[in-house]
Amino acid sequence: MTEEQKITVTIDGKEVSVDKDTTILSAANSIDIFIPTLCHSELVEPYSACRLCLVEIDNGRKKRLVTSCNYPIRKPITVKTKSERVKKHRKNILEMMLARWPNVKIIKDMAAFHGIKTPRYTSPLQDPQENACVLCGLCVRACEEDIWESALNFANRGPEREVMMGYGENIPQCEGCETCMSICPTHAIDMDKEDPNNPFDADLMRKAGMKLTREMVLLDDSQCRMRKVGTAHLTEIMDEYDLLPVQNYRFGSHTETKNIASDVFLKNYLTQGKPDGCWQGCTMACAKTADAFTLKTGPYKGDQVVVDGPEYETVGGCANMGIFDPEFVLEFNFYCDTYGLDTISTSTGMSFYMEMFEYGILNKERCGGLDLQFGNSDAALTFMHRMAAGDKDEFIQVASKGIRRVKDWLIKKGWGDKQIIEDCGMESKGLEYSEYVTKESLAQQGGYGMTLKGPQHDEAWLIFMDMVNNQIPTFQDKAEALHYFPMWRTWFGLNGLCKLPWNDVEPENNAETDEPAKVPGHVQNYVDYQNGMTGGNVDKEGLILQSERAYNWQRAMNVWMGRGTRNDDWIPYRSMGPVTKKEYESRKDRYDTQFVEQLGFTKQEVEKMSIEEKIQKLYEYRQNRYQKLMDAVYYRRGWTPNGIPTPQKMKQLGFSDKKMLSMLQKKIDQDQEKGLNSWGGIYGDDEQPPTDKDQYWLEW
C-alpha cells in the first residue's frame, strides 16, 4: 500500500492515516479511542444492529450520525465519538436496552458507564433473565461466516424475534463447535448442560477453543489454508524443498507435481466448498470430500462415490509410485479406505516393489503378471484389487504383508543383491515410511528411526529445523529436539487429540516468542485444556513429564518383548543417503560440496573420485553420523548405549514396579557381558561421545 492510497482522518482531535475503506471503528481502535459496541466482533462482518457505535462525522459540508462499525473511510473526515449529539443518542439506545433487559450484565455495565441508573420507561417486552438474548446476531453470523454452517438463524418478526435452529429442533448442521456460545456477549446460549464429558472448568477450555477458532477465521487463509485444502497444501511445498518422495524416495521433486497440487483438487474435485471437521466441533476442519467421483476400476467400477480426502500423505504416496494423476489419487484413496488399507503403507510398499521391478529383481513372472513399473497406475490398482480379493499368487500374498516380508522373501529366493534390497526397502520395525525424503536431514532420520512405533512422522518432524533452518547443528542440539518433540507429540496421542491445531495455524505474535518452533501460545491451549477438563494444575513441563512416563514405559515394554534396542532403531540407507548412481547424480552439487565442507576432501580429490567411490564414502560417513546421533539421543533420554531405559531413569520418572525395574537391570547386565553398553559411533580426534564414563547411569 503506497502513501497515496492512505487517507488521513481526525478522530476526537487526533489524526490517523488509514487505508481506504478502513472503518471508523477500526481507525479509532488503532489509536486507542474506545467506542462502545455490542454486536461487533472482528470475526464477523459489521452488522450495525445495536447502534451503540454511533459517531458524528463532518465532511466539511454537513454533519451526521453514522454507525462507525460499518462506515468505510473514503475521504478525509472529522469524527467525534463523544459529542453531545452522540452521547444523547447512545444514552437513549442504552436506556431502551436496559428497560428491556434490566439484568443482563453487559447492558447494565454499559448503561452505568454512560451515567444511566434506571431507565425512564418500562418496556412491555421486558425480559428479566440475567442471560437474556439481546438479539445482537453475533451467534447467527459467526455460525454462517466463520463455521460456514448457518445452523442458527433469526425466527419471527418484531417483538417475537428470536434466535433458533430450524423449527426449534437440533439440526445436523450444528457441529457442536460452541463458537456461538463463546461469541455470545450475554451467555444466552448454554450447551454445558448437554456436555456428557462434564468438564471441571468448561470456560477455560472454551477460551482455548475460541482462540483457535479466531486464528482459523482470521489467519488460516494466509497461512496453511487448512480449511480450504487441508494438509494437501504441503504437496507443492515439499516438491519445492526437494522433500516430496518420488519413485521410492530416490528423488525429492518432479516436473509433474503441478498435476497433483492442492489447487487441482480444490478447483476440480473437492465439492463441499466449506470446512469439514473430522471430529465434532473442530473449527480447523481440514478434512475434505470429493462427491460423485466416478470410479474407473475394481468392484465398484462405474459407481459414483464419495471420496474422503486426499491428505498430503496420500498425494505424496502417489508421487512416490511415480503417478501424478489426480484421478488416480482419488481412486487410490477411495479403495484404500474401502479395503481398510493405510494409504502410506500401501503406497510406500508399492514404491519399493516398483523399484525392485525396475532393477529386474522382480518381473512380470515373479509378480503374478503385474507390470509394476513406476507410474503404472493400472498395475497399482490391479495389485490392490487382487490383494483385497485374497488372490493366492505368491507375490500378492507376501506383498500384502508389507515391505519387511517382501525383503525377506526376495533374499530367501536369492533374487537380487541383498544389500540393495535392504537399502531400498523403506521400513523400520516392520512399518513403512511416511512420505518425506529424509536423506539430507540427520535429525529427521532420527525422528523416523528412534521411535517406538516405527518410521511415521508423528513423533518428530524436524526436517525444516535441521536441513533448512540449520537451527540444530550439533548432535546434542538434535538430541534435545529428539527428546522434546517426540514427548510433546506423544502427549497428543495420550489424550486422544489431533496435533494439527498445535502448529498448522499459528498466533499472529508467534514469531516474537522465545521458542516459535514450539508455538508457546498453543502449548498453553493444551495446558488450559487439560486443567479445564480435569481440574488439575499442570503446567507445560508437566505435560512433557506425562509423556516421558508413558514413552519410557512403552520402551521398557518393547524391551520386555525382546525389542527396543539399538538394532531395532536402525533405518534403511535410502533414508540416510543416495543408494544409486542416479540418485547421486540428481543432487551431485550438493553431495560434492559436502565432501569438501564436511568430509574434508579437496575439490580436486572429489573430481577424481568415481561416483561409486563417492557413494561408498558417503555410505560410511552417513551411517556413522546416524550412530553418533543414536549415542546422543539415548544419552539425552536416559537410556543405555543399547537403547535400554535405565532403572535409574525409570525411578526418576516415578516408577517403582519391581518386576519392570529388575527386568531392565537384567537386560542391561546381559548387554554388559556382550559388550553392548558402549557407544556405537566412531569418533575422530576432535570429537567426543556424550560421556566417557562407563555405565554413566549408575551415577544418576
Number of residues that bind other proteins (CB under 8 A): 33
Residues 80 and 12: beta-carbon distance below 8 Å: yes
Provide the mask over 179-218, with x wherever binding to other proteins is found by CB under 8 A and - wherever it is not. Answer: ----------------------------------------
Nearest distance from residue 236's CB to other proteins, in Å? 7
> What φ, ψ does residue 8 adopt, rounded to 5°?
-100, 125
Among 429, 457, 587, 637, interactor with other proteins by CB under 8 A: 457
Contact region for other proteins (CB under 8 A) — 311-319, 322-330, 374-382, 602-610?
Answer: 311-319
Coil vs helix vs strand at 40: coil
- Closest Cα to residue 441, out of 471, 411, 418, 415? 471
Nearer to other proteins by Cβ, of 126 and 469: the residue is: 469
Nearer to other proteins by Cβ, of 317 and 681: the residue is: 317
For helices 343-358 and 403-413, the axis angle rounded to 10 degrees is 20
Nearest distance from residue 638's CB to other proteins, in Å? 25
- Residue 473 binds to other proteins (criterion: CB under 8 A): yes
Among 156, 280, 470, 610, interactor with other proteins by CB under 8 A: 470
C-alpha span between 563 and 152 (Å, rounded): 55
- Residue 612 binds to other proteins (criterion: CB under 8 A): no
- Residue 397 binds to other proteins (criterion: CB under 8 A): no
Among 347, 445, 510, 530, interactor with other proteins by CB under 8 A: 510
Helix, strand, coil tally for the chain in percent (to 5): 50, 10, 45
Query: In sequence order, what DSSP letters do the residues of 655-669 get, joined into one string?
Result: ---HHHHHHHHHHHH
C-alpha span between 532 and 209 (Å, rounded): 11
Exposure class string for 622-657: b at 16+ Cβ within 10 A, else e: bbebbbbbbbbbbbbbbbbbbbbbbbbbbeeeebee
- Residue 369 binds to other proteins (criterion: CB under 8 A): no
Nearer to other proteins by Cβ, of 54 and 234: the residue is: 234
Contact region for other proteins (CB under 8 A) — 170-178, 230-238, 373-381, 545-553?
Answer: 230-238
For residue 72, the cross-strand partners are 23
Residues ≥6 apart with Cβ < 8 Å to 444: 436, 438, 460, 461, 462, 463, 466, 467
Nearest distance from residue 33's CB to other proteins, in Å? 23
DSSP 464: I
Nearer to other proteins by Cβ, of 12 and 477: the residue is: 477
C-alpha span between 87 and 358 (Å, rounded): 81
Among 96, 155, 237, 388, interactor with other proteins by CB under 8 A: 237
Among 149, 215, 236, 427, interactor with other proteins by CB under 8 A: 236
Residues 591 and 584: beta-carbon distance below 8 Å: yes
Helices of type H across 537-681: 540-560, 581-586, 588-597, 603-608, 611-637, 647-652, 658-674
Among 283, 320, 434, 558, interactor with other proteins by CB under 8 A: 434
- Residue 506 binds to other proteins (criterion: CB under 8 A): yes
Nearer to other proteins by Cβ, of 203 and 240: the residue is: 240
C-alpha span between 174 and 689 (Å, rounded): 57
Provide the mask over 519-548, with x wherever binding to other proteins is found by CB under 8 A and - wherever it is not. Answer: x-----------------------------
Among 359, 464, 484, 570, interactor with other proteins by CB under 8 A: 464
Residues in the chain: 700
Nearest distance from residue 567's CB to other proteins, in Å? 27
- Residue 576 binds to other proteins (criterion: CB under 8 A): no
- Residue 468 binds to other proteins (criterion: CB under 8 A): yes
What CA–CA distances, in Å, run from 162 to 105, 159, 174, 539? 20, 9, 18, 42
- Closest Cα to residue 318, out of 239, 423, 407? 239
Task: Categorise residue 638: left if φ over 0, alpha if ψ from -120 to 50, beta otherwise.
Answer: left
Question: Exposed, middle or buried: residue 478 (CB in 10 Å: 0-12, 13-18, 19+)?
Answer: buried
Nearer to other proteins by Cβ, of 188 and 286: the residue is: 286
- Residue 278 binds to other proteins (criterion: CB under 8 A): no
Nearer to other proteins by Cβ, of 234 and 618: the residue is: 234
Among 118, 272, 294, 469, interactor with other proteins by CB under 8 A: 469
- Residue 431 binds to other proteins (criterion: CB under 8 A): no
The residues binding other proteins (CB under 8 A) are 222-224, 231, 234, 236-237, 240-241, 311-313, 434, 457-458, 461-462, 464-465, 468-471, 473, 503-504, 506, 510-512, 516-517, 519
